[in-house]
Amino acid sequence: MSAATTGSKAVFEAAALEATSLAAGGPAATVLKTPAAPLFSRPRPNRPAYMDEGRLLRRGLIAASFLFVFVAIILPLAAVLSRAFGHGWGPFWAAATDLFTVRALKLTLLTTVSAVAANTLFGLAAAWALTRFNFRGQGLLITLIDLPFAVSPVIAGLIFILTFGRLGWLHPLLTAWDVKIVFATPGLVLATIFVTLPFVARELIPVLAARGADEEQAAALMGAGFFRVFFEVTLPHIRWALLYSVILCAARAMGEFGAVSVVSGHLRGKTITLPLHIEILYNEHKITEPFAVAAILVFSSLLILLARNIVETVAKKERYLDVR
Amino acid sequence: MYVELNNVSKNFGHFQAVRNVSFGLEKGVLGALLGPSGSGKTTILRMIAGLENPDSGDIFLDQLRVNDIEPSRRGLGFVFQNYALFRYMTVFDNIAFGLKTQKVPRDQIRQRVEELTALIGMEGLESRYPAQLSGGQRQRVAFARALAPNPRILLLDEPFAAIDAKVRRELRSWLRGMISQLKITSIFVTHDQAEAIEVADQIIVANLGRVEQAGTPLELYRSPATPFVARFLGDSTVIGDYRVLAGFENAPEGAECAIRPEFIRIYDLQEPIQYENSVEDGEVVSLAFRGDSIETGVNVRGFVLTAFRSLEKRPLAVGQKVKVLIYRLYAFDREQALLIGNNRLDDVADGYRIGI
Ligand SMILES: Nc1ncnc2c1ncn2[C@@H]1O[C@H](COP(=O)(O)OP(=O)(O)OP(=O)(O)O)[C@@H](O)[C@H]1O
Ligand SMILES: [Mg+2]
């Protein structure tokens, strides 16, 4: 995933950017974990003495994990931050409030919000349909939902170029209607939607499936309409999973580089999102600016991580309401 | 008939879950839908509720064909097998839900919920969530929730299945009392024959998606129409050729027969036997203490029959040789069920036709 997200256009300080994209997007694998199983808060098993033979091995593994995380994530992140603030607050602030940076930030927020909104609606509908109805092509739909995880983001971008671009089969129609998609905001939004499509649906399907349709049927039997059933019976159950998936989806959308890079056309101040902006600044051999903008992305990622942890904690507290 | 099913069938793919089921229940009656697991009980109940559409056949509620009427307009209360309480709502909101959807004014809702929490004996627990209740309490809340909108008919899917044995007995008689008090036509699903016999006015026995027999518990017990019913209600042993048994040599032919424990008497070899030549030789193969009697398994001609032996009698041991008197048995052929008596006892060899 790193190769695809990092892109291959310029010679980057690979580790630093890798870290940024890691924090912003997170690898796909972590997404499939439900909020119900936080990694670090399990009760320590009370092991009998004879099981402690592997103590050395255990400590070794733990140490290795921490060392790896430190070298692969903490160090590069620290490098980014030290470069960003290496010349003090002034240069950082100048870079952060630069007109193009602000525009890139706005565009990033716009694409993120649109993509997340679209995928939330889609994810809810798909998860509901897949777990509540039996229909032909159920397996196909699940496979298609997974597709964006399997396809490289660069390919995702190319798909849109080939569909809407100058040589694309829909291009004549678009020119006739005077609609711009590729090299414009709609293209960025579409590419981001594509890349982040699985998040919400993937998170909700197991939750809805595990819970069954009994409560919904009971409500419907008592005369509740669709919206009442959804908002009063279904939503309370899935709200934390939904929020969790929305957060991850937002994180991924914000840090998306590959697909967006392909459909962007790199029109400065128009189709440049934050990750693209970082790349451009870096290629211009700027000293502080790329890292200052990267730092903004890192901070937002940290905020998102924080939000995710809060959601996890609250969701765990509410699990006492689960019957059985 | 207040509830009536007419030739109702339901397939899931190629699997026939319910086949040509017909039965009826009068108003105010508590009916039990009894059958082993997978016999189609839940499917039948869900079709009455409208949660499942029959492939063919008609369902009538109060003379009205309801096949095409929306579930929520059929005037039913439904208690799900696992209660399906809204777990993110309090007891109060659970019970009030059906009234809210009907846009009943708030103060009336409050009044009705108070009435029902009193009825189920759960005053003061209105603000609890389902997870904070015991199994029995959840069951009662589910019952109150189904009753709140004043349904014409109450459907309960295995209402006691998730509750342990002791509480189940209490809840059973509680529910029986509630339903007779409210005079609401009800159908409950169960696979426990003791439960059906104890609670229901009418029992509908289902097997393999068919109705084997419907009637009062006494009718079903006394004159089972099929070997399945005989076996399912009361413990009976079903055996093939019963004309090998002493006293049944001249009995009418039938495919198989069922022998209930109360049709059998066991003598140990010292006991005087009134009808010497009407008894079979047997051997005790199992003994189980049942509180008021000892359930005794005896091997007679390779069939293991079950009998109850009084605690007053001399105790038996496994492996002991005994004499076994079979008073009578139910014989079945394709069309009919016969109650046949031991002909050396009373010289009545014909048996008489019962049931169907
Ligand atoms: N939605 C479904 N799809 C396919 N088969 C089904 C479905 N629902 C039920 N069946 C099948 O229909 C048959 C009858 O099911 P049903 O749930 O009515 O049985 P039941 O008598 O209620 O059993 P239990 O006592 O175990 O609850 C079963 O063999 C079951 O596997
Ligand atoms: Mg069932």
Compute, in angstroms, the gap from residue B131 CA to the centroid of ligand 2: 23
The arithmetic mean of pLDDT across residues A182-195, rounded, is 91
DSSP A223: T
Query: In terms of CATH architecture, what is B3-224?
Result: 3-Layer(aba) Sandwich (3.40)
What pLDDT, in 10s, does the model give residues B66-112?
999 999 999 999 999 889 999 999 999 999 999 999 999 999 999 99
Residue B287 CB coordination number (10 Å): 15
Q: Are strands B30-34 and B185-190 parallel, antiparallel or unpaired?
A: parallel
Percent of all residues in chain A with a pLDDT value above 90, rounded to a whole number? 42
Contact B24, B211 (CB under 8 A): no
Cα–Cα dist A300/A44, whole Å: 33
When CB atoms are compared, the residue of B88, B89, B101 closest to A222 is B101
Q: Is the pLDDT of residue B167 over 70?
A: yes
Which stretch of DSSP H or E encloses residue A199? helix A198-211
pLDDT score for A2: 39
Between residues B356 and B327, the one the model is more confident about: B327
Q: Where do the domains of chain B lie?
A: 3-224, 231-341
State both tokens at A58: 């255990």
Least confident stretch, A122-136, A173-187, B293-307: A173-187
pLDDT score for B159: 87
Task: List own/partner pairs for B191-195 with CB under 8 A and 24 or more apart.
Answer: B191/B34, B191/B35, B191/B36, B191/B37, B191/B39, B191/B41, B191/B158, B192/B34, B192/B160, B193/B34, B193/B232, B193/B233, B193/B234, B195/B32, B195/B160, B195/B168
Q: Where do the domains of chain A lie?
A: 23-39+89-322
Q: Is the pLDDT of residue A145 over 60?
A: yes
What pLDDT, in 10s, does the model give residues A201-253?
999 999 999 888 899 999 999 999 999 999 999 999 898 899 999 999 999 99
Q: Is the pLDDT of residue B341 over 70?
A: yes
Pocket test for ligand 1, best of B5, B43, B211 (most atoms within 8 A of CB): B43
Phi, psi of A30 (to 5 degrees): -65, -20
Chain A hits for B145, CB-CB cut-off 8 Å, are 218, 222
Q: Is the pLDDT of residue A4 over 50?
A: no
Query: For residue A288, what pLDDT band results from cuts at 50, 70 and 90?
Result: confident
Cα–Cα dist B27/B152, whole Å: 9
Chain A hits for B98, CB-CB cut-off 8 Å, are 222-223
What pLDDT, in 10s, does the model give residues B49-76?
999 999 999 999 999 999 999 999 999 9
pLDDT score for A49: 63
Q: Is the pLDDT of residue B151 over 90?
A: yes
Q: Is the pLDDT of residue A8 over 70?
A: no
**Cβ–ligand 1 contact at B39 (below 6 Å):** yes
Reference A102, options A256, A292, A252; nearest CA is: A292
Q: Is the pLDDT of residue A71 over 80?
A: yes
Least confident stretch, A101-110, A225-234, B37-46, B243-252: B243-252
Q: How far is B1 from chain A (nearest CA, A)?
A: 23
What pLDDT, in 10s, does the model give residues A221-235?
999 999 999 999 999
Q: Is the pLDDT of residue A45 over 90?
A: no
Question: 3-state SS string over chain B?
Answer: CCEEEEEEEEEECCEEEEEEEEEEECCCCEEEEECCCCCCHHHHHHHHHCCCCCCEEEEEECCEECCCCCHHHCCEEEEECCECCCCCCCHHHHHHHHHHHCCCCHHHHHHHHHHHHHHCCCCCCCCCCHHHCCHHHHHHHHHHHHHCCCCCEEEEECCCCCCCHHHHHHHHHHHHHHHHHHCCEEEEEECCHHHHHHHCCEEEEEECCEEEEEECHHHHHHCCCCHHHHHHCCCCEEECCHHHCCCCCCCCCCCEEEECHHHEEEEECCCCCCCHHHEEEEEEEEEEECCCEEEEEEEECCEEEEEEEECCCCCCCCCCEEEEEECEEEEECCCCEEEEECHHHHCCCCCEEECC
Chain B hits for A219, CB-CB cut-off 8 Å, are 86, 97, 101
The arithmetic mean of pLDDT across residues A27-34, rounded, is 40
Query: For residue A254, what pLDDT band results from cuts at 50, 70 and 90?
Result: very high
Secondary structure of residue A56 in the 3-state scheme: helix
Q: Are strands B15-25 and B3-12 parallel, antiparallel or unpaired?
A: antiparallel
Contact A271, A188 (CB under 8 A): yes
When CB atoms are compared, the residue of A221, A223, A228 closest to B78 is A221
| CATH of the structural domain B231-341, one choice from 2.130.10.10, 3.40.50.450, 2.40.50.140, 3.40.120.10 | 2.40.50.140
Instruction: Write the Ramachandran bin of B264: left for phi over 0, alpha for psi from -120 to 50, otherwise beta.
Output: beta
Compute, in angstroms, the gap from residue B34 CA to the centroid of ligand 1: 14
Q: Is the pLDDT of residue A23 over 50?
A: no
Compute, in angstroms, the gap from residue B192 CA to the centroid of ligand 1: 17
CATH class for domain A23-39+89-322?
A: mainly alpha
Q: Is the pLDDT of residue A178 over 70?
A: yes
Instruction: Please provide the average confidence, as pLDDT, over all residues in chain B.
Output: 88
